[in-house]
Amino acid sequence: MMGTHSLNLLPKSFRPTLASLRPNLLRFDSTKLTSCRRQNLGIRSVFTGIVEEMGHVKDLGLADHGGFDLKIGARVVLEDVKLGDSIAVNGTCLTVTDFDTEEFTVGLAPETLRKTSLEELERGSLVNLERALQPVSRMGGHVVQGHVDGTGVIVSMEAEGDSLWVKVKADKALLKYIVPKGFVAVDGTSLTVVDVSDQESCFNFMLVAYTQQNVVIPTKIVGQKVNLEVDIMGKYVERLLLTTSAYNTPQAKKG
């Protein structure tokens, strides 16, 4: 548990977000940060992008160990949880460090805050939650690693009947992996892309009524960030083509 070290000492009028406390979090020993990055290089868990439930942020703050703790209220994902398990929070794979029957705690590294939209969270924020895939689980969405590639910004949300169109602006470095009718994970939700506009650097998708009731995206507003993870298959193909091309150059053949 986080105890009295976090935000209880702050004025009641102060509503902290991860962004407001981020400067303190970044005062880490560089060796610890390097170690953390190395530990995350391997694929330890896989998700499907099918959100199991929406949890809510109960507390967040600096921890005694010098890092940052995030406490989330939940029910479904706690049914069989164990210490060290991975849970995707808005599409970000995080490790459970403490839990009871109503809540669990995860730690956040500086790199996680830099790469994701989790820095915008505050007490009461809703978050998408999904446990890691098990060998006997059904693959209802697509392969999601929980390794957020970057963030996008919601630029429009328009209703059509009981469905909701959402347009997201993304960095061109990510947009190249996003294709019409392809998969993309937005805040950890597996979604099918409808259209991609290279000129606007945007893509859009549609949320049906059921999905709107079970994920956090509709609770956000234009201008807010969302976590993006592109389909890993596109990266593998790009890497394979680049490597093959490099080996086929005249210089490589001579070597």
Q: Which of 101, 137, 163, 192 is catalytic?
A: 192
| 3-state SS record for 168-211 | EECCHHHHCCCCCCCEEEECCEEEECCEEECCCCEEEEEECHHH
In a domain, 1, yes or no: no
DSSP label at 60? E
User: Exposed, middle or buried: residue 53 (CB in 10 Å: 0-12, 13-18, 19+)?
Assistant: middle
Average pLDDT value for residue range 171-175: 95
Q: What is the pLDDT of residue 253?
A: 56
User: Any catalytic annotation for residue 109?
Assistant: yes
How many separate domains does the chain show?
1
> What is the widest separation between alpha-carbon atoms in the chain?
70
- The per-residue pLDDT for range 65-124, each reduced to its tens digit, is 778 999 999 999 999 999 999 999 999 999 999 999 999 999 998 889 889 999 999 999
Q: Which of 63, 74, 88, 109 is catalytic?
A: 109
User: Any catalytic annotation for residue 36?
Assistant: no
Average pLDDT value for residue range 45-68: 90
- Choose among 183, 182, 150: nearest CA to 169: 150
In a domain, 137, yes or no: yes
User: Any catalytic annotation for residue 101?
Assistant: no
Q: Which of 6, 45, 48, 86 is catalytic?
A: 86
Q: How confident is the model at residue 34 (pLDDT cuts 50, 70, 90)?
A: very low
In a domain, 189, yes or no: yes
In a domain, 255, yes or no: no
User: Any catalytic annotation for residue 151?
Assistant: no
- Determine phi and psi for 37, rounding to 5 degrees: -65, -40
User: Any catalytic annotation for residue 93?
Assistant: yes
In angstroms, rounded to a whole number, what is the distance separating the alpha carbons of residues 194 and 16? Answer: 36
In angstroms, rounded to a whole number, what is the distance separating the alpha carbons of residues 234 and 175? Answer: 11
Q: What is the pLDDT of residue 3?
A: 40
In a domain, 19, yes or no: no
User: Any catalytic annotation for residue 192?
Assistant: yes
In a domain, 75, yes or no: yes
User: Any catalytic annotation for residue 201?
Assistant: no
CATH of the domain at 193: 2.40.30.20
Q: What is the pLDDT of residue 243?
A: 84
In a domain, 252, yes or no: no
In a domain, 6, yes or no: no
Average pLDDT value for residue range 202-213: 97
User: Which string of b and e fits 125-156 if b means at least 16 CB within 10 Å?
Assistant: bbbbbbbbbeeeeeeebbbbbbbbbbbbbbee
Tokens 């995030």 locate to 70
Q: Which of 74, 88, 93, 185 is catalytic?
A: 93
In angstroms, rounded to a whole number, what is the distance separating the alpha carbons of residues 83 and 99? Answer: 8
Domain that includes residue 203, residue range? 53-239
SS3 at position 222: coil
